[in-house]
């Protein structure tokens, strides 16, 4: 076994171990949420995933960005084939192990990968221009300053490095096939490398060509490894999570709000409609309604937060945001994800200072006894959730079936039903609804007209 193979195996082992640990933290954070059962239809699950995650169906509501994104997406999928070859070559010491096995099909396959890589390179440059020169409005919102903007640019630069590695490797390899056919398999003529290889590398000696070919090879695989380790820190985690998120997406109509069983039973009792559930819960402890923190949301809500692409399509169509109000559905998802990171990290630290004294100090730190004095309301202001019109525009716009409205509604419910607060303009309406069953403050009973 060569030194290069040993070095490569150590890198693979280190990257694999680190990625497993970091992705495990994300899974732990998502599982902080409550149970979820909103996707009962198995066939609809597969349909959503195939059409929306794999087929990018909802992206095509904006055709030009969809086409450009499609170039990068297809390139990402196809380069996995070349990545598998690089992994096999690196572990076992081969060179282009698939070339003799696939013959002319290998030439076609690598040529097609080069074609989509060029298209992806063009798309990447356009995306960099749109974000940094054209400054499209939805990329310039307050929540996109700092790390979110840098994050988007870093991944685009990484894409350029990846494509550079591919063409450096292939271009040098094409020339080496002529100079040293015993060591470098004849792969046929690649669509671009067979042209740019002789042009840029044709006059170089064999040792320099080998160095360039190995540089391209290592650049390709190291960018991929770096991307894998970078994903848990980035919005680009949606590359992986879009599939489970669309597969598990809520299957009810987006406009259908979830009933709260406790409230529903109370209303049934008030109306004299007795059910087994309402009777059995009459003497139960009064629950908290809605969501104060990530523990009160479902794990699917938290998966939504981690799947968010930060594309801003939701915010761009939000009528509240368009009229100058503070609400940004994208910021809601980013805030929930950041809160997940904060809470998850504190719980994993096992530091006893995060234990709630009211729930005993003799138990290990867990979501059940966690307390840091903070909540989602420290990140998401009442002004934001009050501005929402519940129109579902953000839900409809999301290309990966994220539902910011569910989180907004749950926080509203907590504020109004549990805390007993809310906008002053709303209080008379709630008081009247509670006292007379009508949103209007009238002196007679709502059903008085029946006796007339």
State the fold for domain 262-421: Fumarate Reductase Iron-sulfur Protein; Chain B, domain 2 (1.10.1060)
What is d(CA 129, CA 134) in angstroms, rounded to the nearest whole number?
A: 6
Longest dimension (CA), the chain: 104
Q: What is the DSSP letter of 285?
A: P
Whole-Å CA distances, 244 to 42, 404, 433: 13, 17, 41
pTM of the predicted protein model: 0.89
pLDDT at 85: 93
The token pair at 216 is 């391209």
- Phi, psi (degrees; rounded to nearest 5) at 355: -85, 140
Task: For residue range 264-293, list pLDDT tens digits in order.
Answer: 777 777 667 766 555 445 445 667 889 999
What is d(CA 353, CA 37) in angstroms, rounded to the nearest whole number?
A: 34
Q: What is the DSSP letter of 191?
A: T
The token pair at 272 is 């004299």
- Structural domain boundaries in the chain: 3-30+62-236, 262-421
Helix (H) or strand (E) holding 81: helix 63-92
pLDDT at 434: 74
Calculated CA dihedral for residues 334, 339, 342, 345, nearest 10 degrees: -90
pLDDT at 267: 72
pLDDT at 361: 67
Task: For residue range 106-115, list pLDDT tens digits in order.
Answer: 999 999 999 9
Q: What is the distance of C-alpha 117 from the center of its chain?
A: 24
Decide if 431 contacts 303 (C-beta within 8 A). Answer: no
Between vectors from CA 242 to CA 236 and to CA 243, what angle results, nearest 5°? 135
Residues in the chain with pLDDT values less than 50: 279-280, 282-283
């Amino acid at each position: 076994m060569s030194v290069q193979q040993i070095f490569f195996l150590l890198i693979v082992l280190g990257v694999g171990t680190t990625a497993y640990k970091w992705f495990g933290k994300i899974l732990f954070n998502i599982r902080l949420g409550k149970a979820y059962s909103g996707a009962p239809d198995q066939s609809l699950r597969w349909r959503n995933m195939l059409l929306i995650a794999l087929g990018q169906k909802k992206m095509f509501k904006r055709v030009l960005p969809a086409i450009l994104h499609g170039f990068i997406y297809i390139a990402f999928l196809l380069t996995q084939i070349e990545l598998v070859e690089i992994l096999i070559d690196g572990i076992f010491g081969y060179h282009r192990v698939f070339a003799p096995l696939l013959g002319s099909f290998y030439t076609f396959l690598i040529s097609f990968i080069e074609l989509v890589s060029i298209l992806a390179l063009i798309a990447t440059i356009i995306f960099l221009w749109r974000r940094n020169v054209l400054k499209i409005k939805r990329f310039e919102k307050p929540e996109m300053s700092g790390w979110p903007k840098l994050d988007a640019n870093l991944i685009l630069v990484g894409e350029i490095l990846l494509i550079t590695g591919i063409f450096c490797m292939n271009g040098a390899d094409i020339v080496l096939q002529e100079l040293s056919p015993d060591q470098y398999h004849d792969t046929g003529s690649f669509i671009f490398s067979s042209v740019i290889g002789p042009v840029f590398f044709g006059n170089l000696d064999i040792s320099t060509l080998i160095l360039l070919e190995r540089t391209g090879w290592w650049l390709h695989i190291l960018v991929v490894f770096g991307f894998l380790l970078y994903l848990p820190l980035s919005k680009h985690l949606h590359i992986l999570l879009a599939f489970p998120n669309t597969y598990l997406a809520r299957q009810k109509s987006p406009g259908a709000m979830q009933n709260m069983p406790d409230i529903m039973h109370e209303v049934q009792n008030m109306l004299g409609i007795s059910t087994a559930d309402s009777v059995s819960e009459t003497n139960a402890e009064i629950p908290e309604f809605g969501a104060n923190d990530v523990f009160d949301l479902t794990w699917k809500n938290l998966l939504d937060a981690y799947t968010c692409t930060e594309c801003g399509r939701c915010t761009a169509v939000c009528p509240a945001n368009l009229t100058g109000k503070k609400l940004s559905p994208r910021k809601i998802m980013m805030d929930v994800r950041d809160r997940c990171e904060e809470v998850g990290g504190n719980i994993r630290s096992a530091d006893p200072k995060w234990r709630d004294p009211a729930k005993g100090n003799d138990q290990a730190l867990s979501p059940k006894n966690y307390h840091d004095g903070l909540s989602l309301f420290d990140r998401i202001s009442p002004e934001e959730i009050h501005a929402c019109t519940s129109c579902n525009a953000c839900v409809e716009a999301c290309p990966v079936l994220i539902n910011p409205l569910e989180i907004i509604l749950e926080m509203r419910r907590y504020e109004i039903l549990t805390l007993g607060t809310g906008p002053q303009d709303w209080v008379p309406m709630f008081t009247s609804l509670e006292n007379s069953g009508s949103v209007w403050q009238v002196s007679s009973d709502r059903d008085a007209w029946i006796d007339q």
